[in-house]
Amino acid sequence: MIEIYGFMGWMDIKLSALPAVSLIMAVGVGVEFTAHIILAFILAEGDRNDRMEAAMDHMFLPTIDGTISTFLGIVMLAFSDFEFIVKYYFLVYLLIVVLGAINGLVFLPALLAVCGPPSISLPPAGGKEVGIRRGSLTSPKSGSGERSSMEMTTKAGSDFV
């Protein structure tokens, strides 16, 4: 949000109610770009670098897909005949998407690899395990052969949830 506010000053966008709403929206979009990667990192096993690699294997493409779909949702604003719409909506939303993707896919992984939190996957000694391993999410299974309430279904041939 601070980055976007700085770029808005550089692009001579005056702070008013409309850009303020965009800044508030930037918080939600910023969470979207980072929350899934952080969750995958926390659930992964190994040292920080292994966990970051597993998290990026699992979440890089979905995050890129989200970036592209969000961009496609705002690209029509670039062709508006009104300079106000282009300047106060398209450029600000474009900044939100680009900076969110850079922060989520470049800066956040570097930060997590250096000083990320410990893994919260349960140890195998407990009989149940939750963790991300190189692109797949494993979940606890009940001992009686029936599906656990936490078990996630996958399509045949897919190791993604």
pLDDT digit string, tens, across residues 90-121: 999 999 999 999 999 999 999 999 999 988 86
Structure-token match 């961009």, residue found: 71
At 131, the amino acid letter reads G
User: In this structure, what token pair is assigned to residue 146?
Assistant: 């029936």
Q: How far apart are CA 56 and CA 133, in angstroms?
A: 11
Crossing angle (nearest 10°) for helices 48-74 and 108-115: 160
Encoded amino acid at 26, one letter = A
Q: Which of 23-27, 59-63, 129-133 has the lowest mean pLDDT?
A: 129-133
Predicted TM-score (pTM) of this structure: 0.71
Kindly report which listed range (2-11, 50-59, 103-112) carries the lowest average pLDDT score: 2-11
Q: 79: pLDDT confidence band, cut at 50, 70 and 90? A: very high
